[in-house]
Amino acid sequence: MTQYTAPLRDMRFVLHDLFDAQALWARLPALAERVDADTADAILEEAAKITGQLIAPLSRNGDEQGVHFEAGQVTTPDGFREAWRTYREGGWVGLGGNPEYGGMGMPKMLAVLFEEMLYAADCSFSLYSALSAGTCLAIDAHADEALKATFLAPLYSGQWAGTMCLTEPQAGTDLGLIRTRAEPQADGSYRISGSKIFITGGEQDLTENIVHLVLARLPDAPAGPKGISLFLVPKYLVEADGSLGARNGAHCGSIEHKMGIKASATCVMNFDAATGYLVGEANRGLAAMFTMMNYERLSIGIQGLGCAEASYQSAARYACERLQSRAAAGPQVRDGIADPIIHHGDVRRMLLTMRALTEGGRAFAAYVGQQLDLSRYAEDAGERERAQRQVALLTPVAKAFFTDNGLESCVLGQQVFGGHGYIREWGQEQRVRDVRIAQIYEGTNGIQALDLLGRKVLADGGQALFAFTSEVRAFCVDAPLHRDALLEALVRLERTSQWLLEQAPRDVNLVSATAVEYLHLFGLTAYAYLWARMAAIAQRKLDEDPAFLGAKLACAEFFFQRLLPRSLALEASIQAGSASLYGMASGQF
């Protein structure tokens, strides 16, 4: 059975000490009436129970059984239906949803912490909920009032679930190649025909209805991405009174057999003249779908974070119990046959790497959540606009850096277990398999890096980037700890960004050749900023909780001494340019 205990102490530290969420919410009227520190803590406590006691125990069996497909129907593993019933009764699907339609309206700063718990407990179960939340976001932002009134409440309640139907066999990253068609009907609806692949939760037995958001082309649509529209296609049509009607022409043709997340149904969906409804404007479907995709990209980033936390917890427990050899400093357990491996330097290196990356990532996730809350709820238009620019800048970093670090942390956790990490009994090999997909779906991490460097840094001359670095520089003025190391990293990021701004117009290959290294350079600098802030708070409040805050200070020291220097190599790699990538002709590969 998978064991997981939500890191509530650290989550409260991030929410209340690092970001003073209570003060932020108090000045945002829409949130002030819904949530305060006590409410947030109560939600986190309850979330810890449901993820640790209800969902985590399903993970191992879910992986063993997987989903079953027969005659167009998908059956989820034992226990999933009962757990979903309890989960939906708690209102968890609609945690961040619009209260006008039955959502709880909680801030994103709080929701990201809950999402981390979900993914740490079980990735497969979490995905059914995550896609529904994203579906709701797109409908709420772009659909007309009739669609919102019909579909949002049962989606928020978990009675229905949502999916995102983009990819086709010939159209992955390049969505301009999609072929699914939409034919207008006299009653204002559309007939949707085509096939989509890799559809998470496209068919399942957890909910009464499934709401598919489908990208398709109208007959007179222009070619390429500018000719794509978004349609809502329910599995069952919905009557005027909200009850379910006839089965729609949306069917699961097969499911994929995957490396991991085996209890999540990944479906081929066939739409055969299925009734659909336009969401937003015709030929503006990508803009509407990106509302959902950007939410999902942050969510999938948090999948990497949750898997890393679960891996750390298992590896740390094992390292404290496993007896092998003697410590370099001499016997630590004099009456024992050997010392626990926690006393060995390389094991500590692995555990501290995992912990520093995970706790830094948790702070960064909450920081992005803070920007999302400001972009939505701030009363001042200028503040909303600034936050929106920061969200656009930071989202690809969160998705890619969290998931790259998530795989690293899961592999390190497996390594701590040695041979036991490679066999199924201990659960570590499942985490490696489950986290691997997070670097691939919702836009591969290479695509995220291209988005960051090409569209978010170079396209605006670095304005959004330098707005972020100005915030970091302002903090450095009075930073009590790690000031010099943080400033050096900040200068490195600014210097590299300026070099790219100057060189990219002269080298058409430069962006694609350096984007991944640049994203990691950005991520390390952002983590350094947040680690310096956390260390300052830990030092100031050390007497209040010496054990927890002392560990925070020690972890910050490790990050600055052993992980931040990675940025030196990244800068050197970036400034080497693109030439070495094109030294071989295509036929030589």
Residues labelled catalytic = 442
Mutual orientation of helices 285-321 and 108-121 as an angle, nearest 10°? Answer: 60
Strands 250-255 and 266-279: antiparallel
Count helices and strands in the chain by DSSP H and E runs: 19, 11
Distances in Å between the Cα of 317 and the Cα atoms of 5, 313, 340, 554 are 12, 6, 10, 19
Which string of b and e fits 404-421 if b means at least 16 CB within 10 Å?
Answer: bbbbbbbbbbbebbeeeb
Lookup: tokens for 294 = 């950007």
Cα angle, residue 367 at apex, residues 365 and 371 outer, rounded to 5° = 115
160: number of Cβ within 10 Å:
26
Amino acid letter, 20: D
The position carrying tokens 């605006």 is 460
The identity of residue 479, as a single letter, is A
CB crowding 22-31: b at 16 or more within 10 Å, else e: eebbeebeeb
Residue 545 main-chain phi, psi, to 5 deg: -155, 75
Q: Which residue has the tokens 């009174």?
A: 241
Geometric angle at alpha carbon 214, from 210 and 218, rounded to 5° = 140
Exposure b/e, 512-547, CB count within 10 A at least 16 = b: ebbbbbbbbbbbbbbbbbbbbbbbbbbeeeeeeeee
CA 264 to the chain's CA centroid: 16
Q: One-letter amino acid identity for 271?
A: F
40, 115, 289, 400, 461 from 388: Cα distances, Å = 24, 21, 17, 19, 17
Of 279, 283, 272, nearest in space to 194 by CA: 272
**5 in Cβ contact with 314 (< 8 Å):** no
Within a 13 Å sphere around the CA of 520, how many CA atoms are in the beta-carbon half?
21
How crowded is residue 434: how many other Cβ atoms within 10 Å of its Cβ? 28
